[in-house]
Amino acid sequence: MPHPDFKNPPVPIPANQLNERPLTVVQVIPDLQPSGAVNNAIEIAEALTRGRHRAVIVSEGGRMQDAAERAGATVIKLPVATKNPAQMIANARKLSELSSHLSADLLHAQSRAPAWSCLLASRTSKVPFIATYDGSFSERNPLKRLYNSVMVRGCRVIAPGERLARMAEERYGTAREKISVVPHAIDFESFNPANVDPVKRALLASQWGIEPRDRVILLPGRLSRPKAPHLLVEAAARLREAGLKDFLCVFAGEHPARSGYAGEVWDQAHQLGLSNRVRFVGYTDDMLSAYSLADIVVCTTMSQGGHRRAVLEAQAMGVPVAVSDSENGDEIVRAAPFVSDARATGVLYPSGDSSELAQTLFKLLAMGAPARRAMGVRGREWIASHFSKETFAERLLAVYRDVVAKSAR
């Protein structure tokens, strides 16, 4: 049945006029709960809308739906998060019907289960399908590898960085010309220290139990096993053992309801006697205040994934970062050994090593506030020059145009 928001679908236009008319792009993502992938989908919708194109997001909905709609997207709800094969096939049929009704130009998947539905829908509707490959998928066995491979089965693969592009080539033999590198964008004007509301900042500090003397180590993001926040708990214990005082580790992110891992991390902190050195504060929608309260932002993820948005946002806010070297580190932070200390915007540490993380945090805290502020200034300048929304939109729309033009031939 046609969706009520589309009573007058656009009429297809000949291929020779593709560069002269708006595109209709349907993104498919499991849900709209806060995450880096969802933020990326919203930025894509905003880039499309600014370019006078039509942006549609198919998902199960969630807390970020209002943000998606403010960005100009029409949100259509389907149970696309499911991994049930029968429902995935049913979703494919619905996506095919929706694509026809919208005269869609492109299906863009942001996750594996929706990607399988998009792939099937593309074969019946003849609408080209592409996917964003962030590489954060485990490949424990051949079946898992097959399941993951859907992310490179479309007519184009979007990789957020060069390292991920190489990973797609090496893992699946994907032709390099089929991969387009489009780094994520950061809203540089929104993530601006000048925009912090002092009243909101003070309120958040009070809610989190932060004292004026505390030096705050912030870890944003979900408390999930792939993000490995337990490493920061272990590092906090080492910092305390080294005699470091007046530091506070704040874990700011949702606790996945179906996972017991968050409870394991809480138990770990309790058993190590860190109740006065850690805070598990849950999700906050005031990340401006959160970053402004931080002396350091940490990323502990051990898998090679896409550009970790929090690392980019923190640097835009002028906060030094400590990043695992598995995190495509040389692409998301300027740090030794890739640049000199005088040009660094943060520090890299060996992936999965809580001892090295503790040493990295000790080094950053020992620098003193003026040196950290100078590092933060460099970080903001670097983000402005490499991750602008304008560059992102230009690269992304060029990929969309190219894919649509080639599919029309």
In DSSP notation, 337-358 reads: TTS-GGG-SEEEE-TT-HHHHH
**Topology at the third CATH level for domain 193-386:** Rossmann fold (3.40.50)
> Prior bond to 14 cis, omega within 30?
no
CATH code, 15-185+388-408: 3.40.50.2000
What integer pLDDT is reported at residue 22 of this predicted model? 95
Distance, CA of 183 to CA of 169 (rounded, Å): 17
Distance, CA of 179 to CA of 186 (rounded, Å): 22
Distance, CA of 51 to CA of 177 (rounded, Å): 26
Distance, CA of 91 to CA of 152 (rounded, Å): 20
Q: Are 115 and 131 in contact (CB under 8 A)?
A: yes
Structure tokens of 35?
């995450």
Buried b (16+ CB within 10 A) or exposed e, 89-113: eebbebbbbbbbebebbbbbbbbbb
Indicate the pairing of strand 54-59 with strand 24-28. Answer: parallel
Q: What is the pTM of this model?
A: 0.81
User: How do residues 272-321 score in pLDDT, each as one tens digit?
Assistant: 999 899 999 998 989 999 999 999 999 998 766 555 789 999 999 999 99
| Domain locations in the chain as residue ranges | 15-185+388-408, 193-386
Distance, CA of 37 to CA of 41 (rounded, Å): 6
Is 13's pLDDT higher than 60?
A: no
> Poorest-confidence range of 93-97, 228-232, 262-266?
262-266
